[in-house]
Amino acid sequence: MLHSTWRGLFRRTALAAALGAFAAGLSIVTPIASSAAAAGTLQQVTTFGSNPGNLAMYEYAPSGLAADAPLVVALHGCTQSASDYHAHSGWQKFADQWGFAVVYPQTSTANNSLSCFSWFDSTKNTRGTGEAASIKQMVDTAVAQYGSDRSRVFVSGLSAGGGMTADLLADYPDVFAGGAVDSGLPTQCATTQTAASGCQYSSQNLIPKQWGDKVRNSYPGYAGPWPRVAIWQGSSDTTVAPVNGTELRDQWTDVWGIGQTASSTRNLTGGTTESIYNDSTGNAAVALFSVSGMAHGLAVNPGSGADQCGSTGTYYLNYICSSYHTAKFWGLDGSGGGGTGSLPAPTGLTVTGTTGTGASLSWNAVSGATTYNVYRGGSKVGSATGTTYTDSGLSAGTSYSYTVAAVDSSGAVGASSAAVTATTTGSAPACYTANNYQQVQAGRAHQSGGYTYANGSAQNMGLYNVAVTHTLKETSAGYFVIADSGC
């Protein structure tokens, strides 16, 4: 988890064996510039900003990734690498299935002798500094590259990566809509390396408000909205004691202004207990997943089932596919997230008509439903008391994906329907592919401080030079968005 001087975790023989196991499973990655990545492969991005934290950036995007798709940042644990985490964690399966890109930051022995992220160092894990700032630059680069939806950027991490995830959620609540801390530590539990082992192995004896203040003080003056946080903790973890899961629960429920008594609890596969903590509107804000008997690591569950993922290895433990349940909690499956109700998914979702600016839907009624939530591209766009809905304000000649979920009388959201695609009538927006210099000269973008920004949307297109190429889509007169994944 931490520096090699912390005894009991990384003795040299164990480390050598672990590194050998990791090396055997690593995949080859090809360095690329920041302008584009080969779809369907893990790639290194060599230019993504000033990189004050001395990190490496890797990314994965499925073929045909739509613009305005979500973005997930996934942080490996100590002694691991980006390619190792990509190969074992299961995130690729759901990126392919539900359509989102994944960024894998990677640290090295130059930063820490065991390649741990510096969750315990306040000079590297706070807003605008070190590794935290480098990861923010990776997000900005990926969003510009893929045209990702900035309202659906998420971060997840294991162990030291989990500790850094908690810090990032507090540092940049304006960037991350949600997070998942897997066998990790609370935000700012330690601010020096010498204090880190105390956080790992024992309770800090703080009340929820004291934990919550550590988050609030990470970005003073910020008043919300706050990220939705999933917490994964093994009950037999001797590297990061189970009390860390409880402290994370206390921290983030306090930030949300809700109590520490679960709104609902259910048993999942692999001896896992899921406890959901709803916000004042009845939507899930915090989830604690306690895995009975699991030691230190990331919960995976190899197999071909819908809720299975990943492969086993050192610190990848066969209990439950945590990536699946985390993605569902965030709403990456198109449900909008937080679906804690027992109502089944609506069937028969159909596109009944389209215009140049709208799409009409219908579906079969669900017994016990009082309303239905309608989601476009995974984000809730409206609700209906009946079984029809018309979405408006759309672009002509453009395809949109829709799902629907039933809501019961208590406000609990059930499972989401299968997705349907609606394509509006009329001509599709014009698209232009050119290097950044040419885009600026054509009046579709502008440059400032050596970087190029799309006119209208102001999306960062990277450096102002001829080596960076983007596709810009003109969605309305003079308003351009990055559409590298397809127009």
Q: Which residues of 405-436 are buried (b: 16+ CB within 10 A; e: fewer)?
A: bbbbeeebbbbbbebbebebeeeebeebebbb
Structure tokens at 250: 């206390």
Give the span between the Cα atoms of 70 and 139, in whole angstroms: 11
- Measure the CA–CA gap between 319 and 326, rounded to whole angstroms: 14
Q: Which residues pair with 234 in a beta bridge?
A: 291
Catalytic residue among 83, 118, 159, 485: 159
Asked if residue 15 lies in contact with residue 79, where contact means CB atoms within 8 angstroms, the answer is yes
Distances (CA, A) of 164 to 55, 290, 469: 13, 20, 32
What are the angstrom distances between the C-alpha of 100 and each of 153, 180, 285? 10, 16, 22
Q: Is 4 a catalytic residue?
A: no
Are 136 and 101 within 8 A, CB to CB? Answer: no
- Output the six-digit token pair for 144: 């510009």
Rounded Cα distance between 136 and 144, Å, is 12
**Pick from 118, 109, 113, 211: which is nearest to 170 by CA?**
211
* Residue where the block lists tokens 């998942």: 180
- List residues with catalytic annotation: 159
